Structure 1
Amino acid sequence: MDTDLILVLGAVVAFFAIPAMVSAYSDRRRLTLPLLSLGIGVAMMGFAFVMHPDGYDLAGLPEVFFGVIGRYMP
């Protein structure tokens, strides 16, 4: 299982959930799905942090992001 990919996907899901929350709040709609998306993204990032053998540090996160992009984009 690739924890780097799970970390990046979780960050992307959480990142896109924030504008959805703002949009739902400004339109006076329920925040259920944006909050669920944010929770899933945070859970994915937490899972990746726990399951990675060496752990992640803040300085190495850009390397992880670009490594995943380089690995999975043709």
Structure 2
Amino acid sequence: MDADLAMAIGLVLGVFSVPSLLSALSEARTPRVGALVLVIAGGMIIWAISQKPGGYTFAELPAVILNVMARYLP
């Protein structure tokens, strides 16, 4: 897995974990799954940043996601 793919998957997982966290907290439940997904997303993002020399800037993130989509989606 290359760093761009890990960054894109980590960002998508991070975004998708927020509704799960908010739903669990609003219903006074423990947000186990949302928290686990958020930790996994954070780990993937940190790994991707550590693997790419110079890291990522916020301006590069849309291009990274589009490049990953262009590579892996038909």
The reply to whether TM is greater than 0.5 is yes
Alpha-carbon distance between aligned partners in 1 of 2:42 and 2:19, rounded to the nearest angstrom: 15
- Calculate percent identity across the aligned residue pairs: 38
Corresponding residue number in structure 1 for 2:7: 7
SS in 2 for 1:25: helix
Let me know the Cα RMSD of the aligned residues.
Answer: 1.1
**1:58 paired residue number:** 58
The 5 A counterparts of 1:16-35 are: 16-35=16-35
State the TM-score, normalizing by the size of structure 2. Answer: 0.91
**What runs of 5+ residues in structure 1 fail to find an aligned partner?**
none
Larger mean CA deviation between 61-70 and 50-59 belongs to 50-59
CA distance in 2, matches of 1:25, 1:68: 33
Q: Secondary structure at the match of 1:60?
A: helix
Q: Distance in 2 between matches of 1:14 and 1:61?
A: 14
Give 1:37's aligned residue: 37
d(CA) in 1 for partners of 2:28, 2:56? 38
AA of the residue aligned to 2:18: I
Q: Distance in 2 between matches of 1:73 and 1:46?
A: 24
Structure 2: stretches of 5+ with no match in the other structure: none
Segments of 4+ moved more than 3 angstroms: none
